[in-house]
Structure 1
């Protein structure tokens, strides 16, 4: 059993890291045109360079997953998560201190890439570790509810970052924002990271990890090597199943949160579509994100009642059916039409976001849960999702076809449908290889009676 007060602290400690991570994504996405002007020489490829720099972090996420994931299975979740959250916050903080291209020339984009590398490497151990952390603390019958708060942190962080990035230009002059005011949102990340470290260091290790340590006293020497072998042999089918799930989830995620701001504000107009006012577009997207914050916990609670897969089927099937219509809605310059397109995409996304944190950790046993999840999650995110903005920008620029985001979403939906076909239902069941987890004594007695 996990005491309610401890559970609340565990959820807060895990969620604050996601808030820190996605605060940066929100700021970067909504200040993309400002970053383009600050760090790159003017030219037709400047926008591609902005998203290429964004994608750089994703090339280092698998390395972070390979390093921090197995380490978390060896020395513990809380220690590794304390390291990753402060590294991530420090990388974001550094971005706010880099001088512009006009001041230091080519050193500006180089330093920006270095900061993104730090962010990417640390994030490789952050998100999967936070999923593991909450899942191992949660009672079996409420894992969907508690896990949903991790993604609530994601949307709060992104919406907060996008809101800050949109409000500052309304408060301060254009000269102030172009000189150094644009860096203020990035500087906020460091205090958030310090709060995250404080919350995480106050918690003990998860019950599942402590049980594993008590049952296995010899975890020296070849432990990490043995875990790698298990991940890529016995649990390789699980590894691939998680990969397909991650592709459907995160292609939708990065399409909405990273590419849509630029698509709606500039790309549609440059290729013959009708646009709406950039400020209006930004506020519509922010409104959708804040509504998602309210809906995600409700879907998480629902998944504890009806199961994860019914909600996931809506998300994956919806991408296949609505991929093209969503994008068409965003091209006619009508505010209601654009809002409807964003709401549909956001609704499909939260089908994954509300259930993913409770579904994926349940597929690996405790011994390799952090490592297996970190490696699988980050390899597939980096290969297919983190590059969405770069790939979409290049494809639309090359072909002039504004429907490429729709094609990409359909492909992600097909991958999700195939993965869900083989995905086991994890609702209400113990984590793989773990003892049942109860919320209170009454539930514990009920589980004991059911077990005979």
Structure 2
């Protein structure tokens, strides 16, 4: 086997850690906006769907607006993914954070239905569509950038840092909304108080823009793609050649995001509308759970590098099966301590995925098609499964009149995920990214890669089998 040691990617671990922080800011921005929409869904429904008499239907319309916007994510993924593979990962990450900040601000300044009639929900939908389009290139780009900038043996743990951005954005939103609920009256909150958090998107966005503008391009893009773009396979060819990897990605993203949106998107409204637990109580309890999730996610990321991502993801799915029904039973017991335990159970399951997925999903695809394929595949799955989770959960609860219905939904998804992971997924922790030479951060790692060419280019055997 020919092995050119000059193609080994050597990275600075400190720079890799800085890139995690810079990309994590964008993720924090995305989830700050998402958390605001989730926590304030009841108030938003009253302001933008006031003619609807049934409060439950108002909430469903609000979540429907939320879900429809997700349909633009695959479009954004296709466009930004193609740009990212052609011109670099950095330029896309710079554009998307500006678009996310703008769309979040727009929601905060929109007139209500009582002020401009039917144009209010239409403009709300357009703002969510802009958000969905920009996020289509954001998260996949961040995952790819971190994976390509990290040493192979630390890729999972550094990738988990991206999800710390998710939790941080959500925690900041939780704390801010809690303070507003505690300091403002219901009338003030419904009238103008709910707008205040959306204005913070501008300073967060500008800070993220500053950090990203000072990033270097990923070493793998510079070494493997930037000067070798003559023959890029088309979409149909990619689907035909990598159908197994695409299927795996869709399933991974499905169980990850259904768990994610069930806890972080649907839960505030579920507790309020179905259990009568006010935001004044549920929001701070959720914030505490999110804070606890941070060390859990980092720990599972380290375990992913040490034990292998397949084993750790399997642990998460088993926990999802065990905790799915029990957690919702605890939530329905009417006690503060049981509320905390139920949310924490779901939080631990989500922590497993947050610790492993950002560093695992980019390993499914080859370097020359990684960004665009991961981008549209990820966003297609998020749109179908993640974005619809609050809507599906609301509908299941409404139709069955069973408050445990969302738990059964999570149970079914976790079972399917476990079967797929055990039968189709091969561990990728510590291995070079498909289509590229190893990425190392020390002389010892460099020498090991040179001395073990077959292990370093393990993906060539898989590529040969496909051909």
* Contact 1:2 1:439 (8 Å CA) reproduced: yes
Segment of structure 1 superposing worse, 189-198 or 73-82:
189-198
Could you tell me which residue of structure 2 aligns to residue 78 of structure 1? 90
Could you tell me which residue of structure 2 aligns to residue 131 of structure 1? 143
* Contact 1:30 1:166 (8 Å CA) reproduced: no
How far residue 320 of structure 1 moved from its aligned partner, in angstroms, is 2.1
- Taking the aligned partners of 1:429 and 1:374, their CA distance within structure 2 comes to 22
* Contact 1:231 1:239 (8 Å CA) reproduced: no
Could you tell me which residue of structure 1 aligns to residue 330 of structure 2? 329
- Taking the aligned partners of 1:151 and 1:390, their CA distance within structure 2 comes to 24
Segment of structure 1 superposing worse, 33-42 or 153-162:
33-42
Segment of structure 1 superposing worse, 317-326 or 407-416:
317-326
Q: TM-score, normalised by structure 1?
A: 0.94
How far residue 268 of structure 1 moved from its aligned partner, in angstroms, is 2.9
Could you tell me which residue of structure 2 aligns to residue 263 of structure 1? 270
Could you tell me which residue of structure 2 aligns to residue 40 of structure 1? 49
* Contact 1:70 1:227 (8 Å CA) reproduced: no
Could you tell me which residue of structure 2 aligns to residue 273 of structure 1? none
- Taking the aligned partners of 1:213 and 1:405, their CA distance within structure 2 comes to 44
- Taking the aligned partners of 2:226 and 2:208, their CA distance within structure 1 comes to 28
Query: Residue deviations 1:373-405, cap 9 Å, x none?
Result: 111111111111211111111222222121210
Could you tell me which residue of structure 1 aligns to residue 126 of structure 2? 114
- Taking the aligned partners of 1:116 and 1:210, their CA distance within structure 2 comes to 34
Query: Residue deviations 1:21-65, cap 9 Å, x none?
Result: 000111111111111122111421211111111112211111111
Pair 1:215–1:79, CA change in 2 (3 A)? closer
Segment of structure 1 superposing worse, 26-35 or 438-447:
438-447
How far residue 357 of structure 1 moved from its aligned partner, in angstroms, is 0.7
Does 2:409 correspond to 1:408?
A: yes
Could you tell me which residue of structure 2 aligns to residue 436 of structure 1? 438
* Contact 2:48 2:120 (8 Å CA) reproduced: yes
Could you tell me which residue of structure 1 aligns to residue 69 of structure 2? 57
* Contact 1:60 1:117 (8 Å CA) reproduced: yes
How does 1:389-404 map onto structure 2 within 5 Å? 389-404=390-405
- Taking the aligned partners of 2:194 and 2:225, their CA distance within structure 1 comes to 47
- Taking the aligned partners of 1:424 and 1:71, their CA distance within structure 2 comes to 29
How does 1:206-217 map onto structure 2 within 5 Å? 206-213=218-225, 216=228
* Contact 1:139 1:439 (8 Å CA) reproduced: yes
How does 1:189-338 map onto structure 2 within 5 Å? 189-213=201-225, 216=228, 218=230, 223=232, 226-269=233-276, 276-338=277-339
Could you tell me which residue of structure 1 aligns to residue 362 of structure 2? 361
Does 2:453 correspond to 1:451?
A: yes
* Contact 1:93 1:186 (8 Å CA) reproduced: yes
How far residue 418 of structure 1 moved from its aligned partner, in angstroms, is 2.2
- Taking the aligned partners of 1:166 and 1:28, their CA distance within structure 2 comes to 14
Number of residue-to-residue matches in the alignment: 441
- Taking the aligned partners of 1:21 and 1:2, their CA distance within structure 2 comes to 28
SS for the counterpart of 1:96 is: helix
Query: Residue deviations 1:337-356, cap 9 Å, x none?
Result: 12111111110111111000
* Contact 1:95 1:115 (8 Å CA) reproduced: yes
- Aligned CA RMSD, in angstroms, stands at 1.6
- Taking the aligned partners of 1:60 and 1:214, their CA distance within structure 2 comes to 28
Segment of structure 1 superposing worse, 146-155 or 295-304:
295-304
* Contact 1:26 1:160 (8 Å CA) reproduced: no
Query: Residue deviations 1:82-140, cap 9 Å, x none?
Result: 11111111101110010122211211111110100000011111111110000000000
Pairing partner for 1:11 from 3, 15, 20: 20
Could you tell me which residue of structure 2 aligns to residue 88 of structure 1? 100
Query: Residue deviations 1:219-266, cap 9 Å, x none?
Result: 6xxx4xx24234211011110011111111110000000111111122
How far residue 277 of structure 1 moved from its aligned partner, in angstroms, is 4.8
Q: TM-score, normalised by structure 2?
A: 0.91
- Taking the aligned partners of 2:354 and 2:221, their CA distance within structure 1 comes to 25
How far residue 213 of structure 1 moved from its aligned partner, in angstroms, is 3.1
Does 2:111 correspond to 1:99?
A: yes
- Taking the aligned partners of 2:318 and 2:430, their CA distance within structure 1 comes to 24
How far residue 217 of structure 1 moved from its aligned partner, in angstroms, is 5.3
- Taking the aligned partners of 1:4 and 1:138, their CA distance within structure 2 comes to 7
How far residue 215 of structure 1 moved from its aligned partner, in angstroms, is 5.6
Residue ranges of structure 1 left out of the alignment (5+ in a row): 270-275
Query: Residue deviations 1:288-307, cap 9 Å, x none?
Result: 11111222112211211111
Pair 1:137–1:57, CA change in 2 (3 A)? same
* Contact 2:85 2:225 (8 Å CA) reproduced: no
Could you tell me which residue of structure 2 aligns to residue 272 of structure 1? none
Segment of structure 1 superposing worse, 393-402 or 358-367:
393-402
How does 1:137-152 map onto structure 2 within 5 Å? 137-152=149-164
- Taking the aligned partners of 1:294 and 1:319, their CA distance within structure 2 comes to 19
